[in-house]
A and B are shown apart, each in its own frame.
Chain A
Amino acid sequence: MNFKSPQTPLSYAQLLEANNVMQNNGDETYWLCLTRTVQGSKLFPVSAYILFSYLNAFYRYPSLLRKIEERMTAEELGDRARNMGMKIQSLHMGWCLPAFYLLGRECLLSYGLIRPQDAAEDIVYVLDFWKRFQLARHRNDGHLTNREFGHRSQIAPHRLLEVFAADMFECSPGDPLHEAAHGFMAATSQYCFLSACESRLNLHNTGPFRLDDTRQLLIRDFMDLGECSLPWLDGVAAGIPYNNLTVTMATKDCHFDIVDDWGSFESKPEFVPEMMTGIGLYTSDPLSDGYIPVGMGSAEELTSTFVDLGNLIKDATNKLWMRMAGWSRDQLLDAGAFTYFAVIKDLAHIAGVFEVEDWLEIDPRAERFRSLLNDEYADSFLGELVGSITLPTQQRSTFTMMQHSDRPSGTITPLPYSILAGEDYVPSVGGTLPGGTYLDPKVDCYQTTRGKMTLAEYNAAARDNRPDICSPEYRYLCDTWVKYNAHTDLANDLYKIDQRRSRTMKGRGTGAQLVGGQ
């Protein structure tokens, strides 16, 4: 092959970094799929919509992320993500963003439509965006992913955890609060699997955090509950007054030894609701300026809040299920594909640049493949792509021993360094193309913490809003700084931000005294 003289604006370091992200994400994809899935659904054509979403992600993520970043950097988005329970968590950002995008590329490689080096500049940009977001979101635990942290996720800063811990209400098996909280979480988990079209993208766990030697805290998020940017919730979820709910849950004698990049947990011994000893409830979104307590005035109020919300959720579940049971396969396919593809849409909501045509349309370049994705082919192709890693493009030198499988294969095809020696490549997929969907159009109504809004109102409010904690004064005051400056007025003011809505800690500040008679 005759290479031209090198013209790429990409550097060796950029390619090395991108390939490192690809390899890590690919190894983790295999482990997660091996140990957590084998999924079947009588309702949704799951494998088909997953593949469809991957293709849409490959064609659209680069330009949509660039559009978001014109308004807000990945690092700032990551900083904001630490202070709210939206769909920008380990599952959505840590794993889905790179995995969906890169697996879409693998599909097209399998079809022979692209070469490993094509879209190289997109790939480097998307993975760099991802890395900057991840490092910012994970800055408290200093890791890039939960995988890198040994499957643990300690995102929240001390000042927030202190409020969560202090405001929780104690509960024990058999008491009304325990029963109501357990019932709410079960019903809401069920609703989230349904509203996310048989995926786990609407529920998530973060932690664990140490409360004492026998108790741990898990932060459990239930997201996109109300009328939001998932159009199938229009009407059926009109009665749900919160779009995102965060449950703070304390457990005793239960060690969460795995909280992975899918937001799933494992524990020793196996968690059962009887282990729950404390509970709290909050809501948040891009307009809330942190977490807002929900029903947290007293244990009795929280109990009735859980019961009332649980009943609303069950009613919405039944209505949504009836809607979905009547859908055509194309509608089921589109809804599932949007659930996956738009898993990172909350980045656009935070930046105030969400547009329906960006996130709720199938790009015509992906739409081409709709008819190919019958159930059997999709199940088999996806099984080879992420389960057995046996597509020809995924096979590597016979000396290779893949992590977890020891097979000579790799989930994601690396970028070839030959482009630095002048091998030609196409830099980008370009912008989005006008697409379409078989679903009903999105109603212009979005549930926020400031009430229901039109999209224009929501975007404008998001653009105008900067959480106090992200202001230049406070943004870079991390736990390391607090450790040595807790006695200062600035630290007290910092802590008072998260304490503003606290029942037990409002106005307390750090409570720190100078030690050693200083």
Chain B
Amino acid sequence: MRLYTDIDYFYRAPVFPLVEAVNGLVRDLVRAKLEESGGDWSSFALGASETLVTKADIDALEGKILATGYRFSFSSNASARDRPEIYKSTEAADNYGGAAFAHPDAPTGPPDEGGRELRGCGDNVVRRNGNIVGIARYVRTSEQVIDYMRNGVPAGTIAVIDDSGGTLTAPIIEQFTAVICAGGTVRSHLGILTREFGIPCLMNAKLSGVQDGDRVEVEVSAPAKTAEAYQTGQEMKANIWRLPQ
């Protein structure tokens, strides 16, 4: 039994194997249900299929993927917290997440005459008159945010965040001296918010070798990255240096 979209003259496979696999499983399920219904598309589409393709059927597809030993990466902390059995372990994710801050493409260099070591770069949100210096502190979990809500963010904190959204750090963002974000673009929510608050910020940062507590300098005097630059792939980078401690 063929689905209407099984014959595809202009077919090209999706990029992600997981998308191909999951969508393939759904299509296999739909194919089977179409056959069960007698194969009449006119009554199946938006009709019989709504009752024949059930939530239980689709729930079962997850089991097929997990049975192969595959575990999913997570982006929301709540996902791994609620269903640890389907996601890669937190420890593994920490290692992976740690890699977000040990980026293979991060520009690095030996100390210059002033002792500054190049340790990364990012996309500047707003050009400032001068660079900013502060203490790098990683902010990655709700628990850290709650701790800062209770005890305050230490003065001079340059928050290093792997979340380009504007919600994780909502209660404490105002207390940051600057932000370095390992994801997003200057138009991502965190970029928009730092602009509104007047907080210097680099987005899409590629960082390597900066430890929590390191003193860093962020080149927010570099030109702000433009939409045209994103669209054309033009490099507009602002540097991040580790300073003598």
Contact = CB atoms under 8 A, between A and B. Distances in A.
B30 A39 contact: no
Contacts of A429: 46
A327 interface: yes
Interface residues of A, number: 87
A424 B41 contact: yes
Given A270-B126, A368-B53, A426 B163 contact: no
A28 interface: no
Given A42-B141, A328-B78, A426-B46, A190 B22 contact: no
B165 A42 contact: yes
Contact of B14 (A43, A189, A384): A384
Contacts of A375: 72-76, 79, 87
Contacts of A371: 55, 58-59, 61-62
Closest 6 CB pairs of A and B: A41-B165, A193-B166, A380-B16, A112-B3, A376-B72, A45-B76
A67 interface: no
B170 A194 contact: yes
Nearest to A320: B170
A37 B185 contact: yes
Contacts of A393: 5, 8
Contacts of B140: 42
A42 B77 contact: yes
A182 B76 contact: no
B11 A111 contact: no
Interface string A371-407: 1101111011101100010111101111000001000
Nearest to A273: B198
* Residue among B27, B62, B140, B166 with max Cβ neighbours from chain A (10 Å): B166
A124 interface: no
Given A36-B187, A193-B170, A392-B8, A368 B22 contact: no
B22 A377 contact: yes
Interface stretch (A75-83, A113-121, A234-242): A113-121
Given A110-B23, A392-B14, A426-B46, A35 B72 contact: no
B50 A365 contact: yes
B49 A113 contact: yes
Interface string B160-203: 00111111101101100000000111011100110111100000
A109 B168 CA distance: 34
A5 interface: no
B227 A266 contact: yes
A321 B82 contact: no
A317 to B, nearest CB: 6
Nearest to B30: A112
Contact of A408 (B4, B10, B13, B173): B10
B6 to A, nearest CB: 7
A36 B204 CA distance: 12
B152 to A, nearest CB: 13
A47 B23 CA distance: 16
Interface string A146-188: 0000000000000000000000000000000000001001110
Interface of A: 34-48, 109-115, 118-119, 182, 185-187, 189-191, 193-194, 197-198, 200, 258, 264, 266, 270-273, 317-318, 321, 324-325, 327-330, 332, 364-365, 367-372, 374-377, 379-381, 383-384, 388, 390-393, 395-398, 404, 408, 424-426, 428-430
B127 interface: yes
B26 A43 contact: no
B86 interface: yes
B99 interface: no
Given A40-B165, A112-B27, A395-B11, A193 B193 contact: yes
A368 B187 contact: no
A396 B10 CA distance: 6
B87 to A, nearest CB: 7
A85 B203 CA distance: 31
A42 B61 CA distance: 26
Contacts of A258: 227
B168 A42 contact: yes
A512 B136 CA distance: 61
Interface of B: 3-6, 8, 10-16, 18-19, 22-23, 26-27, 30-31, 41-42, 45-47, 49-50, 53-55, 57-59, 61-62, 72-79, 81-83, 86-87, 126-127, 140-142, 145-146, 149, 162-168, 170-171, 173-174, 183-185, 187-189, 192-193, 195-198, 204, 224, 226-227, 230-231
A196 B27 CA distance: 33
Contacts of B145: 321, 325
A109 B185 contact: no
A40 B10 contact: no
A91 B3 CA distance: 36
Nearest to B31: A112
A429 B46 CA distance: 6
A427 to B, nearest CB: 9
A203 to B, nearest CB: 9
Contacts of B165: 39-44, 46, 193, 198
Contacts of A118: 45-46
A112 B28 CA distance: 9
Contacts of B230: 34-35
Nearest to B15: A390
A156 B227 CA distance: 27
A364 B53 CA distance: 11
A38 B173 CA distance: 20
A219 B226 CA distance: 23
A40 B164 contact: yes
Contact of B198 (A41, A266, A272, A327): A272
Nearest to B227: A35
Contact of A200 (B5, B189, B231): B189
Contacts of B13: 392
Contacts of A41: 75-76, 163-165, 167-168
Contacts of B23: 110-111, 381, 391
Contacts of A364: 55
Contacts of A317: 170-171
